[in-house]
A and B are shown apart, each in its own frame.
Chain A
Amino acid sequence: QKEVEQNSGPLSVPEGAIASLNCTYSDRGSQSFFWYRQYSGKSPELIMFIYSNGDKEDGRFTAQLNKASQYVSLLIRDSQPSDSATYLCAVIRAGGYQKVTFGIGTKLQVIP
């Protein structure tokens, strides 16, 4: 079992729709959860981070964390073509200090 699992996609959504990106992790003691966006040929950039169970909203983005189910998601409302990228889920395990484990990433395509 991979430490961080994501569906590689591609996930295609029409412009203006809600994109839902999902991630599961294997270490129940994981502490911190991040969503990075990576455009093709570019380096990752942080979109959201979440530490506590529940929802965290920032503009069009909402991160959701359910530690009991070991599940973290990212919702993108009013999706735009510029949101087309690969979204990487990343986790810091308990006792892992700054060591971040990334998932494979989900490729999102927003269709105009």
Chain B
Amino acid sequence: GAGVSQTPSNKVTEKGKYVELRCDPISGHTALYWYRQSLGQGPEFLIYFQGTGAADDSGLPNDRFFAVRPEGSVSTLKIQRTERGDSAVYLCASSHGTGYEEQFFGPGTRLTVL
């Protein structure tokens, strides 16, 4: 079916505001990942879900960042009290979740915090 989709493609917000970024993985993929990529850097791991549970959230930078995947499919990354340093492209990826396998990336959400 379709690939990984992310909405919105672009988000501009003001410092201190709350934002939600959505990821819709490939149908049937049990594993879902969030990454953050700043200009000139590689993707930085944030959190990994296996099904509905966060299997590894060690990459979340602080408690302003939170992610959910309540039904094991769509995931939402939530950022509270945004800061200018949060500006980046937020990438979502999914995989079958059966082992050390290929991850399929979505197009990303470009977040700009003014």
Tell me, yes or no, whether A binds B.
Answer: yes
Interface residues of B in 62-97 (CB under 8 A from A): 91, 95, 97
Residues of B contacting A43 with CB < 8 Å?
Answer: 91, 105-108
The verdict on A102 contacting B43 (CB below 8 Å), with A43-B91, A43-B106, A43-B108 known, is yes
The verdict on A105 contacting B102 (CB below 8 Å), with A42-B107, A97-B55, A98-B31 known, is no
Residues of A contacting B102 with CB < 8 Å?
Answer: 34, 46, 49
B73 → chain A closest CB, angstroms: 17
The verdict on A100 contacting B33 (CB below 8 Å), with A51-B100, A88-B42, A88-B43 known, is yes
Q: Is A92 in contact with chain B by the CB < 8 A criterion?
A: yes
Q: Is A11 in contact with chain B by the CB < 8 A criterion?
A: no
In the complex the two chains form, what is the Cα distance from A105 to B97 in whole Å? 25
- Among candidates B43, B56, B59, residue contacting A97 with C-beta atoms closer than 8 Å: B56
**B95 & A98 in contact (Cβ 8 Å cutoff):** yes
The range of chain A's interface size is 20 to 34
**B55 & A98 in contact (Cβ 8 Å cutoff):** yes
| CB closest chain-B residue, reference A42 | B107
The verdict on A98 contacting B33 (CB below 8 Å), with A31-B100, A32-B100, A103-B42 known, is yes
**A105 & B100 in contact (Cβ 8 Å cutoff):** no
In the complex the two chains form, what is the Cα distance from A51 to B101 in whole Å? 10
Give A residues with C-beta under 8 Å from B: 4, 8, 31-32, 34, 42-46, 49, 51, 88, 90, 92, 97-105
Beyond the given pairs A98-B95, A101-B45, A102-B35, 16 more chain A to chain B contacts, judged by CB atoms under 8 angstroms and listed by A's residue number, are A8-B40, A31-B100, A42-B107, A44-B91, A46-B102, A46-B103, A49-B102, A88-B42, A92-B100, A97-B55, A98-B33, A98-B103, A100-B103, A102-B42, A102-B43, A103-B42
